[in-house]
Chains A and B, each alone.
Chain A
Amino acid sequence: MQFQSFDESYVERLRAGDFRTQEHFVAYFSELLQLKLRSRLHSPQAIEDVRQETFARVLAALRGGKIRQPERLGAYVNSMCNNVLLEHYRSSQRDSSIEDEEDQDFPAATVDVIGALAAKQMEGKVREILEELSERDRRVLREVFLEERDKDDVCRDFGVDRDYLRVLLHRAKQSFKALYLKNMSARPPGVVAAGRH
């Protein structure tokens, strides 16, 4: 995904309904919302509902001229998501202020050949990074991320501390990041894994 500045021009294009800008906006924030929500909601349907509602309200606010600091668009999205989450937790009636608006769906992004090739490259890189780790480090990552065991238990079993685990992940991420950045930059806006329909 290409870097874009969240500035007056971007917000204006979004407000005007520019397709490419909207695609980028949804794709960029969908990943962050997905990461934010999966630690708070267990149901995939609830995650999707909150994601959709967040986007609907942000775009409604844009059209209503309520976003006064374009450079803080991201913070606005995060804040809106927090509000939607709070409502979800309270299991209250959804705000019907957008009922008059046409229901808009924020679909998952398109899958294309470039994406598939990039995915293959990234999987290869991850494999390479894991193979360079010691058997112990591989097992630590396996038990934490794949088997989702309690991290304190895993650290105790392998005789490491939580800081070791953080550094392990940090180093692996740094090795992976260059390729990730290259692939993200090469991809047209919107062509990214952005969650389910």
Chain B
Amino acid sequence: MDHDQAVRQKATERYLLNELDPGLRDEFEEHLFDCQDCALDVRAAAMFVEQSKTVLAEPSVTPVRVPFPAKTTAKVRWMGWLRPVFAVPVLALLTIVGYQNLITLPRMTQAMGKPQLLPSVMVNVSTRGTEVPEVTARKGGAFVVYVRIPPQAGYSQYTAALYNPENKLEWSLPIPMNAGQDTYLVEVPAANRQSGKYTLNIQGVTATGQSTPVGFPAAFEVKMEN
């Protein structure tokens, strides 16, 4: 493959998307290692993809655009607020707010005020053990994962990504790296979670944003009980 062919075929993008068949992939790599332009292209694209993962993992708040009401010359009578189109949703909102303030929040405050022992499990990313540690948590309750990451040189932080039993990503969490620290406490928040095998993948992130897997994926079994 020569340079023109690589550019024409969008080989960089195909390479990073794993779309090249083995033969074409080998041809592109042979060109890539000799062509500084293509090497730069691939490195830039790979850096973009790595940085995107960090940005896209952040929860996003989409502003809800509320149309600005048009000016009206008609006089709105105060009695107009009692029309069902306004009254019903307002009453529903008042009922919900009232229930939360009078019932739910006091219960939550009472519960939060009480110290509680969260179930926990310990995983070690530097070992690929055959035994999968277990944690039993209350249905809808939180639990803690102690993650042992042997100190690594060259990283400014870690990223922990939790995959559920269906191998779907639940969340991704940046972990600032502390010199000399090898165990990090990750609180897995309360959620309507199913029992099964969860996996925590740790990536080391350098100051330039490049991330590489650290250790082995850490699996643990979660048992939810009522």
Query: How many A residues are at the interface, by size bracket?
Result: 35 or more
| A12-20, A32-40, A59-67, A90-98 - the one binding chain B | A32-40
Q: Is the CB of A197 within 8 A of B154?
A: yes
Instruction: Chain A residues near B26: list those with CB within 8 A.
Output: 82
Q: Is the CB of B52 within 8 A of A116?
A: no
| Given A173-B41, A193-B206: A77 touches B57 (CB 8 Å cut-off) | no
Q: Is the CB of A78 within 8 A of B13?
A: no
Q: Is the CB of A176 within 8 A of B44?
A: yes
Q: Is the CB of B42 within 8 A of A32?
A: yes
- Smallest distance from the beta carbon of B199 to chain A beta carbons, Å? 13
Which B residue's beta carbon lies closest to that of A35? B46
Which A residue's beta carbon lies closest to that of B25? A39
Q: For chain B residues 47-69, which have a beta carbon within 8 Å of chain A?
A: 47-49, 51-57, 62
- Smallest distance from the beta carbon of A108 to chain B beta carbons, Å? 4
Q: For chain A residues 1-49, which have a beta carbon within 8 Å of chain B?
A: 3, 28-29, 31-32, 34-36, 39, 43-44
Q: Is the CB of B48 within 8 A of A126?
A: yes
| Given A146-B172, A176-B47: A123 touches B57 (CB 8 Å cut-off) | no
Instruction: Chain A residues near B209: list those with CB within 8 A.
Output: 119, 122-123, 193
Which A residue's beta carbon lies closest to that of B204? A196
Q: Is the CB of B51 within 8 A of A34?
A: no
Instruction: Chain A residues near B207: list those with CB within 8 A.
Output: 111-112, 115-116, 119, 193
Which of A75, A115, A116 contacts B34 (CB under 8 A)? A75
| B73-81, B98-106, B114-122, B211-219 - the one binding chain A | B211-219
Instruction: Chain B residues near A78: list those with CB within 8 A.
Output: 29-30, 32-34
- In Å, the complex CA distance between A137 and B43 comes to 22
- In Å, the complex CA distance between A78 and B39 comes to 12
Q: Is the CB of A169 within 8 A of B45?
A: yes
Q: Is the CB of B33 within 8 A of A146?
A: no
- Smallest distance from the beta carbon of B13 to chain A beta carbons, Å? 4
Q: Is the CB of A111 within 8 A of B156?
A: yes
Q: Is the CB of A146 within 8 A of B208?
A: no
Q: How many residues of B are counted as interface, with CB atoms below 8 angstroms from the partner's CB atoms?
A: 55
Q: Is the CB of B51 within 8 A of A122?
A: yes
Instruction: Chain B residues near A192: list those with CB within 8 A.
Output: 208
- In Å, the complex CA distance between A104 and B44 comes to 29
Which of B44, B52, B54 contacts A180 (CB under 8 A)? B44
Residue A156 interfacial (CB < 8 Å)? no
| Given A141-B56, A177-B41, A181-B40: A118 touches B208 (CB 8 Å cut-off) | yes
Residue B168 interfacial (CB < 8 Å)? yes
Residue A151 interfacial (CB < 8 Å)? yes
- In Å, the complex CA distance between A178 and B169 comes to 32
Residue B92 interfacial (CB < 8 Å)? no
Instruction: Chain B residues near A141: list those with CB within 8 A.
Output: 52, 56
- In Å, the complex CA distance between A184 and B42 comes to 13
Which B residue's beta carbon lies closest to that of A82? B26
Residue B16 interfacial (CB < 8 Å)? yes
- In Å, the complex CA distance between A141 and B209 comes to 18
Q: Is the CB of B14 within 8 A of A166?
A: yes
Residues of B within 8 A of A (CB): 10, 12-19, 25-26, 29-30, 32-36, 39-49, 51-57, 62, 152-154, 156, 168-169, 172, 204, 206-210, 212-216
